[in-house]
Amino acid sequence: MTGTIDYNKPLLRIFAHFYRPHLKLFLADMVCASLISAVDLTFPMMTKFVMEKLLPGALYQFFFVMVILMVILYLLRMGFSYFVTYWGHSVGAYIEADMRKALFTRLQELPFSYYDNNRTGQIMSRVTTDLFEITELAHHGPEDLFISLLTLTGSLLLVSTIRWEMALILMALVPATIAAAVLSRHGLRQASRKVKERTAEIIASLESSISGARTSKAFANEVYEILKFKEGNEQYKNARKGYYKSMAAFHCRIDFMTHFLTVAVIAVAGFLIMRGAMSLPELIACNLFVAAFLQPVRRLQNFIEQFTTGMAGFGRFVEIMRMRPEITDKPDAIPLEQVKGRIEYQDVTFAYAVNAADTERYVFRNISLSIPAGTTLALVGPSGGGKTTLCHLLPRFYEIYQGRICIDGHDIRDVTLESLRRNIGIVQQEVFLFAGTIRENIAYGRIGASEAEIIEAAVQAEIHEDILQMPQGYDTMVGERGIKLSGGQKQRVSIARIFLKNPPVLILDEATSALDSATELKIQHALEALSKGRTTLVIAHRLSTIRNADHIMVIDNEGIRQQGRHEELLAAKGLYAELYAAQFGGTPGGAAYSLSRSGTAGL
């Protein structure tokens, strides 16, 4: 649905677009609501007819027929009301689900930079709490507005047939009541939006505190976390109080106007009865119409409240939907197929915040390098030099500012994102596992893989035996972010995922630096097998792991400082030799394992 809606249009037109897939059900709901309104308008006229004609004329047989007819009408009204309550709310739920689906789809399309600048909890709030009132607005909004106008018009016309004076009072006071409601809308909307913003901050704080619970306990900072949350909770409470203050003023104004309307009708009707210009049945009928008249006024009151709260959330929804993905396929993008893995960076310049006047924001400028298919390039250097960023440009997690990156001669911007990323596998230092089973996490490498393929990938990653020793085997739950597994087990599950994906290009981003030596040795063979025959980019701080790479590139914040083989770089007495001396005291050796010339990784 995200591709069929122009989110640059006004909010109401965007909102109306979400009714299209459910238009038949929505129209049926509106018809039933109209019939409910018709029954409500019929009752006062039937009451007037009974009191003026049937009872004074002793037409008791017709009186009981009329009573039975009223019962039948209200039974029909009950059926219509059931349809409106059930299916009308269902339409609202469908629309809310469509919006949430569209929002989640857009979040999948947004680049890494969006997630770099927004907290997880705040994003979650956009998907959940911001759209909670949409169901009620989508259902009751059009219904309340349509039925209110229908009932108001019908009541006014019918009252005018009884006493034009009563109709005149209604015509004078109802617009003033509606105007009072509309004038209160702005303050209510602002207060509602502030509540949603504070709710997002509360969720973000809660998510951060829960995710970091082990850290806060390790530092004995539970009291600090409680105080920090208390501060955010206090801001949320104050925002809620501000909203309730606006809501109280809104309801009080409307309630006064509606009660004043009732008093005005009684006063004028009493004056007319005193003069003999109005009968008691007419007074009763007028009072019934006033009651029917007040119902749509209260509907409008509810509509304005729902509209302000619902549109506050919908406005925040549209803010994200109006964000254009920075990285998209060209209209003529082609699939990247039969990849051999020859990679070229040609005068590549990148900045996280592109600003031609601010050169300090550039990560690197005019980087050029060539990686033959099936070979291994190791990237080393101080932290912050752009090694990871350079690798993340290859699958287009970020868009380059200028230059070209090619795979097998194809500019990566000329191929589809799906095919590009399908051909690249990434093993990171910080492994992310989904809260599910080991089987599900391995199968994420290729959705729909068979059980035999999953097991084979686990065997290749040397995690199969560990899995069999677990109580539920492949059905073992890994916990939030894989917390129930050891660091080495999580890493090997991630490696199994890449084996299942089977990409021709591989990125190893500090894949073992966080592991102890014994666990590192266990993963060595899995990574060697994984890298065999693939073009491999290795980011490493442990120089022992890359001493036999086909090519080593030394990068710092000034760009590429050195290139060459391990022995060549040591002999050159540059930054690489300094880093090596810092790790090994200037003495070659101490390596637990290495990358072979053929490009196989022993990380």
- Residue ranges of domains in the chain, CATH in brackets: 11-321 (1.20.1560.10), 431-502 (3.40.50.300)
The pLDDT of residue 319? 85
Q: Within 10 Å of residue 460's Cβ, how many Cβ atoms? A: 19
Question: How far is 143 from 88, CA to CA, in rounded Å?
Answer: 9
The band of 123, judged by pLDDT with boundaries at 50, 70 and 90, is confident
- In whole numbers, what is the pLDDT of the chain averaged over residues? 78
Q: Indicate if the pLDDT at residue 405 is higher than 90.
A: yes
- Stretch 214-243: mean pLDDT: 73
Question: How far is 421 from 38, CA to CA, in rounded Å?
Answer: 60
**Token pair 């059926």 is at which residue?**
79
Q: Indicate if the pLDDT at residue 58 is higher than 60.
A: yes
Percentage of residues of the chain with pLDDT beyond 90: 6
DSSP state of 325: P
Question: Is 528 in contact with 461 (CB distance < 8 Å)?
Answer: no
Question: Is 420 in contact with 503 (CB distance < 8 Å)?
Answer: no
Question: How far is 394 from 343, CA to CA, in rounded Å?
Answer: 9
564 φψ region: left (φ > 0), alpha (ψ -120 to 50), beta (else): left
Range with lowest mean pLDDT among 184-193, 310-319, 423-432: 184-193
| Residues 6 or more apart whose Cβ sits within 8 Å of residue 501 | 422, 425, 445, 446
**Token pair 């006033």 is at which residue?**
290
The band of 412, judged by pLDDT with boundaries at 50, 70 and 90, is very high
Q: What is the pTM of this model?
A: 0.69
The band of 35, judged by pLDDT with boundaries at 50, 70 and 90, is confident
List, for residues 168-215, the tens digit of each pLDDT value. 777 777 777 767 666 666 666 677 777 777 777 777 777 667 666 665
Burial class of residue 330 in the structure, from the number of CB atoms within 10 Å of its CB (0-12 exposed, 13-18 middle, 19+ buried): exposed
Question: How far is 501 from 499, CA to CA, in rounded Å?
Answer: 5
Per mean pLDDT, which of 102-111, 514-523, 581-590 is the most reliable?
Answer: 102-111
Question: Is 126 in contact with 102 (CB distance < 8 Å)?
Answer: no
| Residues 6 or more apart whose Cβ sits within 8 Å of residue 119 | 204, 207, 208
The band of 511, judged by pLDDT with boundaries at 50, 70 and 90, is low
List, for residues 65-92, the tens digit of each pLDDT value. 878 888 888 899 889 888 888 888 888 8
Total number of residues shown for the chain: 603
The pLDDT of residue 68? 87
Shortest CA distance to 511 belongs to which of 522, 501, 500?
522
Question: How far is 447 from 530, CA to CA, in rounded Å?
Answer: 19
Question: Is 405 in contact with 341 (CB distance < 8 Å)?
Answer: no
The pLDDT of residue 343? 93
The pLDDT of residue 591? 38
The pLDDT of residue 602? 28
Quote helix, strand, coil % in the chain, to nearest 5: 65, 10, 25
Q: Indicate if the pLDDT at residue 419 is higher than 50.
A: yes
Question: How far is 575 from 254, CA to CA, in rounded Å?
Answer: 76
Q: Indicate if the pLDDT at residue 595 is higher than 60.
A: no
| Residues 6 or more apart whose Cβ sits within 8 Å of residue 536 | 375, 376, 377, 505, 506, 507, 508, 595, 599, 601
What stretches of 39-94 adopt beta strand conformation (E)?
none
Alpha helical stretches, state H, 212-350: 213-218, 222-274, 280-321
Q: Indicate if the pLDDT at residue 394 is higher than 50.
A: yes
Token pair in block for residue 60: 């008791």
